[in-house]
Amino acid sequence: MPDGIAYGGDWNPEQWPEETWEQDVALMREAGVNRVSVGIFSWSSLEPVEGVFDFGWFDRVMDLLAENGIGANLATPTASPPPWFSEAYPQALPVDADGRRLHHGSRQGFCPSSPLYREKALRIAEQVALRYRDHPALALWHVHNEYGCHNARCYCDTSAAAFRAWLRTRYSSLDALNEAWGTAFWSQRYSDWSQILPPRATPSFPNPGQQLDFRRFSSDALVELYVAERDLLKRLTPDVPATTNLMAGAHWDMDCWAFAAELDVVSTDHYLIGARRERHIDLAFAADYARSLGGGRPWLLMEHSTSAVNWQPRNLAKTPGELRRNSLQHLARGADGIMFFQWRQSRAGAEKWHSAMLPHAGTDTRIWREVVALGAELAGLSGVTGSTVKADVALLLDHSSVWAQDHPAQPTSELDPVEEAKRWHAALWRAGVTCDVARPEGDLSGYRLVVVPQLYLVSDEGAAGLEEFARRGGVVVVGPYSGIVDEHDRVRLGGYPGAWRDLLGVSVEEFLPLDAPIRLASGASGGVWSEAARVTTAKVLDTYASGEPAWTRNEFGDGVAHYLTTLLDDAALAEVLATACREAGVSPEAVSVPGVEVVRRSHPDGRSFLFAVNHTGEDATVTTAEGETVTVAAGDAVVIPG
Ligand code: GAL
């Protein structure tokens, strides 16, 4: 990280004549840019023919940056193999579940398990590292780009062999695999490893255990590719930090926790989805997730957009001031760097309609003025770097659980664990309560309240961890369809939710998905889902018309565990979470005002920065926990040092 906040974007000078580059860096200085990501999609320019390298032009790019005091997130260009690669090695192209081999012509055209891809990727990465290891512009390794964004799962024969090897390590014996996958069902029992395939297109539902393990394997294969490049870079430049830009909160094919464990600094990309009404709350979720991945350490927002993107059905421009609010939200939630895709808007190529820091129309534009103003503002906030956000609440979410629940044969197709997690996060956001995202197996001891919106699959360790948290005095709120299956997607028997019947003091005998919302005794409504449940040790706080429990509360050890057997409407969910916050002694940073976000970042020495972002069209006054009042104009954001 530079001394202050990293500010800049992806710079793709290879798309422009050299005459433009001087102007680029001059404008970067005008905008306060101190960091750019370079080389991300340069493989075919750096190695135009296999084994023939052309670094002259890139030397000039790196030198220009150094001369202008701009640091480089120097990419290994491995996210987009050149056409020569697939022409020479067609067997390294990815294959989809229907057996279609994909061709070059876009990006990420490779099979993650291909030894040929790995060999060529490591060769170009090594060339880059050897050439620039001592270059003064080199600040951070930007390995690859968004691993798995387009090729997360490959079903080719090479992947099949790698999958089998992965399974042999995981299960040792075929008997153990058959048992874990429940292959007695539909006569799927394997008598030889060679019979096992990736879950390719098949006449009916695929085996759930096979599907789940294939997703685990596919994510691991991508992490392995990162580690291979990272290790090579560390050998040549032990002191240069390395990262890869994740898509935390947006893309669920890769296990972000597994990646994060290998990164020197967590970096992530975030794009608003225009169709979502409260997109700034989605942003807060993604930022909270990114912070959590690094255990609370400052992280780097590697990409967001200055205005519209180019890949949604309707690409909405950001409204005046939205770019600044978005950036300050990320900063408030722990980012030490605010970067964009991309520096100069492309003239050609599939992303020419994607906004950038420097638009097609040039510098006499609203976007440019906002970019320059933001650069100046961030330069004045350098004291924020290194400070952290403390959350008392954790929200449990897990990739394996999301993957398992993704199997098509479910009691209802209307449950969506990620959407439900976001809905609970949004309820806390509206109450002004900052929350982390955590894994069930993670350390929960620093939290007062743990919420589990929908964790269908939980390992024995994760199940025990939550129980232990409550036993030691923590407050827990569990939503329905949680704690249902073990790590192999096999049902935990004896009444649902098998993992947490004791913790919750509840036993469920049947799921009762709903075809319309239903009213509860309290007047709240439940939707999508209900259960035939009975309490064992819990007290009933709300019921269905039948008298069966909809909301229960169980005292467990020194703590408390709430359970919901339906998806409560937003207002009722907010009420349950407010009750749990009170019981846990969790209070917001400020008295909440609808649409105004208040977060504090603090340094260990007590210095802090209070961020207040007003997402509404009305001026608002918030009162902090310390009794201070802060007025934030409509659409404005303020940062108050304390
Ligand atoms: C990201 C990617 C960038 C660019 C951007 C457009 O996923 O890393 O290269 O494609 O999306 O929004």
Most ligand 1 atoms within 8 A of CB, residue of 310, 339, 345, 351 to mutate: 351
* CATH number, span 6-152+218-384: 3.20.20.80
Q: Lowest mean pLDDT: which of 2-16, 28-42, 206-220, 490-504?
A: 2-16
Q: What are phi and psi of 570, to 5 degrees?
A: -55, -40
Band (pLDDT 50/70/90 cuts) for residue 452 is very high
Q: Is 309 in the pocket of ligand 1 (CB under 6 A)?
A: yes
Give the distance (Å) from ligand 1 centre to CA of residue 269.
8
**Polymer length of the chain:** 642
Q: Is 85 in the pocket of ligand 1 (CB under 6 A)?
A: no
Contact 64, 22 (CB under 8 A): yes
**Residue 146 a catalytic site member:** yes
Determine if residue 256 is labeled as part of a ligand binding site.
no
Angle in degrees, CA 308, 309, 313, rounded to 5: 100
- pLDDT over 60 at 368, yes or no: yes
Most ligand 1 atoms within 8 A of CB, residue of 145, 247, 269, 353 to mutate: 269
Q: Is 149 in the pocket of ligand 1 (CB under 6 A)?
A: yes
Mean pLDDT of 124-145: 98
Query: Other C-beta atoms within 10 Å of 314: how many?
Result: 7
Q: How many angstroms separate the CA atoms of 282 and 270, rounded?
A: 10
Q: Is 207 in the pocket of ligand 1 (CB under 6 A)?
A: no
Determine if residue 149 is labeled as part of a ligand binding site.
no
Contact 489, 455 (CB under 8 A): no
Band (pLDDT 50/70/90 cuts) for residue 85 is very high
Sign of CA dihedral 499, 505, 508, 512: negative
175-196 tens-digit pLDDT: 999 999 999 999 999 999 999 9
Atom of ligand 1 nearest to the CA of 302: 8
196-239 tens-digit pLDDT: 999 999 999 999 999 999 999 999 999 999 999 999 999 999 99
Determine if residue 291 is labeled as part of a ligand binding site.
no
Give the pLDDT of residue 569.
98
Could you say which architecture CATH assigns to the domain 393-584? 3-Layer(aba) Sandwich (3.40)
Contact 254, 152 (CB under 8 A): yes
State the span(s) of the chain assigned CATH 3.40.50.880: 393-584
Q: Is 345 in the pocket of ligand 1 (CB under 6 A)?
A: no
Nearest Cα residue to 612 out of 587, 637, 633, 641: 637
Nearest Cα residue to 317 out of 373, 260, 370, 255: 370
- pLDDT over 50 at 133, yes or no: yes
Q: For the chain, how far is it from start to end, CA to CA, in angstroms?
A: 24
The one-letter amino acid at 57: W
Mean pLDDT of 288-312: 98
Q: What is the DSSP letter of 156?
A: S
Q: Is 145 in the pocket of ligand 1 (CB under 6 A)?
A: yes
Most ligand 1 atoms within 8 A of CB, residue of 11, 243, 303 to mutate: 303
379-388 tens-digit pLDDT: 999 999 999 9
Q: Is 24 in the pocket of ligand 1 (CB under 6 A)?
A: no
Q: Which of 47, 229, 303, 370 is catalytic?
A: 303
Angle in degrees, CA 308, 312, 317, rounded to 5: 20
Band (pLDDT 50/70/90 cuts) for residue 3 is confident
**Residue 597 a catalytic site member:** no
Band (pLDDT 50/70/90 cuts) for residue 145 is very high
Determine how β-strand 549-556 pairs with β-strand 539-543: antiparallel
Give the distance (Å) from ligand 1 centre to CA of residue 270.
9
Q: Which residues contact 370 (CB under 8 A, 6 or more apart)?
A: 306, 320, 321, 323, 324
Determine how β-strand 620-623 pairs with β-strand 608-614: unpaired
SS3 563: strand
Determine if residue 156 is labeled as part of a ligand binding site.
yes
Q: How many angstroms separate the CA atoms of 528 and 517, rounded?
A: 7
SS3 18: coil
**Residue with CA closest to ligand 1 atom 11:** 341
Contact 571, 424 (CB under 8 A): no
Q: What is the DSSP letter of 96?
A: -
Give the distance (Å) from ligand 1 centre to CA of residue 349.
13
Give the distance (Å) from ligand 1 centre to CA of residue 575.
39
State the span(s) of the chain assigned CATH 3.20.20.80: 6-152+218-384
DSSP-assigned letters across all residues of 544-578: -TTS-EEEEEEEETTEEEEEESSEE-HHHHHHHHH
Band (pLDDT 50/70/90 cuts) for residue 2 is low
Contact 353, 347 (CB under 8 A): no
**Residue with CA closest to ligand 1 atom 10:** 351
Nearest Cα residue to 243 out of 532, 1, 549: 1
Most ligand 1 atoms within 8 A of CB, residue of 38, 106, 146 to mutate: 146
Q: Is 299 in the pocket of ligand 1 (CB under 6 A)?
A: no
Tokens 């969910």 map to which residue?
573
Give the pLDDT of residue 1.
45
Q: Is 489 in the pocket of ligand 1 (CB under 6 A)?
A: no
**Residue with CA closest to ligand 1 atom 3:** 341
The one-letter amino acid at 589: E
Q: How many angstroms separate the CA atoms of 224 and 213, rounded?
A: 16
Q: Lowest mean pLDDT: which of 3-7, 114-118, 158-162, 457-461?
A: 3-7
Determine if residue 145 is labeled as part of a ligand binding site.
yes
DSSP-assigned letters across all residues of 611-634: EEEE-SSS-EEEEBTTS-EEEE-T
Give the pLDDT of residue 592.
82
- pLDDT over 70 at 29, yes or no: yes
Q: Is 269 in the pocket of ligand 1 (CB under 6 A)?
A: yes
Give the pLDDT of residue 459.
98
Whole-structure pTM value: 0.98
Percent of the chain with pLDDT strictly greater than 70? 100
Q: Strand (E) positions, 133-229?
A: 138-143
Determine if residue 311 is labeled as part of a ligand binding site.
yes
Nearest Cα residue to 451 out of 587, 573, 276: 573
Left (φ > 0), alpha (ψ -120 to 50) or beta: where does 565 sit?
A: alpha
- pLDDT over 80 at 517, yes or no: yes
E strand or H helix at 113, and its extent?
Answer: none
Mean pLDDT of 434-444: 97
Q: What is the DSSP letter of 473?
A: T
Atom of ligand 1 nearest to the CA of 245: 8
